[in-house]
């Protein structure tokens, strides 16, 4: 009764919560609860058949100081990200610029570039595994025709670049290309007209008009691509299985034993779920940290034109 005066608002709030409830319940059960549980598990030794045993910071100490594969797996992951992210960014920009030209059969090309994005990543890994097959693969055969001896693509030296190539295939022409294309089409034509009247060539137009105007979109792509790069898993997993007893023993050895692959290995092959949870929390902190850095850095190159960013 004491809230009698607020009744219409209360009613609206209650109804709002009612409509929200499926998501809210799902969030509590399947997201927030597990996030907290994994924080707790990260301080335990936990095999799924036994009860968790509190070990304090031991998992974290083990990761940082004793686990021989911890830093290398992180290093590989960053090497992969450093290769992939600039190439994916430049690639989707190049594709979008191309499709923004008066190119005949434009939509046909767009479809061809977009198709890998809807293909199951597992299938992508398999078909590229076949293309790159060192013995029978078409790529090394094609290279040999022009006098180049193709490398063994899954050797220690080449395995990470190989995963980068396959990743580029799946993500360069997909949503990233389309978003950049949309941004390009949104650059006001008057800006180019004015610049041309002032005698600016296409190159200067690109650097001083196009790039600044689409920088918010590029920034957005950067964030998404970087996070996706750190999470690299499926392709590496598919390229290294077929050998039993842990992923690491695959033909590529440890060369594409990325962070999340290792995490998966600890959790579901060795059943060291406490340690894997600690790895997951370290991963979360890393993702947040690098996302925050990119946001901070963005103010120096991302240009927001006036009221433009309502969404």
Partner 1 sequence: MTVEQRIDQVSAQNRIKFAPILYQLLLQGIALIFTIFFFGPFLWTIFSSFKNIQEIAAFPPTLLPKVWEWQNYVQAWTQQPFDRWTLNSLVVAFFAVIGLTLSSATTAFAFARFRFPGRDALFLVLMGTLILPREITLIPLFILFKNLKWLDTLLPLIVPNFLAVGSNGAFFIFLLRQAIMTIPREYDEAAKVDGASSWWIFWQIIWPLSSSTLITVAVFAFLFNWNEFLYPLVFLSNKANFTLPVGLRFYQTLGMDTRVSYEHLLMAASVLASLPPIILFFIGQRYLIRGTLLSGLKG
Residues of this chain, 11-50, that bind partner 1 according to CB under 8 A? 12-20, 22-27, 29-31, 33-35, 37-38, 41, 48
Decide if residue 224 touches partner 1 (CB under 8 A): yes
Footprint of partner 1 on residues 233-262 (CB under 8 A)?
Answer: 233-234, 238, 241-242, 260
Comparison of 34 and 75: residue with beta carbon closer to partner 1: 34
Stretch that binds partner 1, among 62-70, 77-85, 150-158, 196-204 (CB under 8 A): 196-204
Nearer to partner 1, 4 or 19 (CB): 19
Q: How far is the CB of 201 from partner 1 (least distance, A)?
A: 11
Question: Quick one: which segment of 62-70, 76-84, 134-142, 296-304 binds partner 1 (CB under 8 A)?
Answer: 134-142
Q: Based on CB atoms, which residue is closest to partner 1, 78 or 114? A: 114
Q: Report if residue 102 touches partner 1, rule: CB under 8 A.
A: yes
Among 54, 119, 204, 303, binds partner 1 (CB under 8 A): 119
> Quick one: tokens of 162?
């190989």
Q: Which of 193, 171, 184 is nearest to 101 (CA)?
A: 184
- In the bound state with partner 1, the residue whose beta carbon lies nearer, of 79 and 220, is 220
60 binds partner 1 (CB under 8 A): no
In order of 7, 251, 252, 270, 309, the CA distances from 242 in angstroms are: 64, 9, 11, 17, 48
From residue 199 to residue 218, the character string flagging contacts with partner 1 as x (rule: CB under 8 A) and all else as - is: ---x--------------x-
Q: How far is the CB of 300 from partner 1 (least distance, A)?
A: 22
Q: Is 184 in the site for partner 1 (CB under 8 A)?
A: no
d(CA 242, CA 190): 58
Residue with tokens 């319940």: 25
């Amino acid at each position: 009764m004491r809230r009698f005066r607020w009744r219409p608002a209360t009613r609206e709030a209650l109804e709002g919560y009612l409509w929200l409830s499926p998501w809210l319940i799902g969030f509590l059960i399947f997201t927030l609860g597990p996030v907290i549980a994994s924080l707790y598990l990260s301080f335990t030794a936990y095999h799924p058949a036994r009860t968790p045993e509190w070990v304090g910071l031991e998992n974290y100490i083990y990761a940082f100081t004793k686990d021989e594969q911890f830093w290398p797996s992180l290093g590989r992951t960053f090497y992969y990200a450093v290769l992939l992210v600039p190439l994916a960014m430049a690639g989707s920009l190049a594709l979008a610029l191309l499709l923004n030209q008066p190119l005949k059969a434009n939509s046909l090309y767009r479809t061809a570039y977009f198709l890998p994005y809807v293909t199951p990543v597992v299938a992508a890994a398999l078909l590229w595994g076949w293309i790159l097959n060192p013995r029978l693969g078409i790529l090394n055969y094609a290279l040999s025709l022009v006098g180049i001896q193709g490398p063994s693509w899954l050797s220690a030296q080449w395995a990470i670049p190989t995963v980068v190539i396959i990743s580029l295939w799946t993500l360069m022409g997909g949503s990233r290309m389309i978003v950049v294309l949309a941004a390009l089409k949104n650059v006001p034509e008057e800006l180019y007209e004015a610049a041309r009247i002032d005698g600016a060539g296409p190159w200067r137009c690109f650097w001083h008009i196009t790039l600044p105007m689409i920088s918010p979109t590029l920034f957005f792509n950067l964030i998404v691509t970087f996070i996706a790069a750190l999470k690299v898993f499926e392709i590496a997993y598919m390229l290294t299985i077929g050998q039993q007893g842990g992923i690491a023993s695959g033909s590529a050895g440890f060369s594409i034993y990325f962070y999340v692959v290792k995490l998966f290995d600890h959790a579901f092959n060795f059943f060291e779920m406490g340690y894997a949870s600690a790895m997951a929390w370290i991963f979360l902190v890393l993702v947040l940290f690098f996302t925050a850095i990119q946001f901070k850095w963005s103010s120096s190159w991302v240009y927001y034109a006036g009221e433009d960013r309502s969404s």
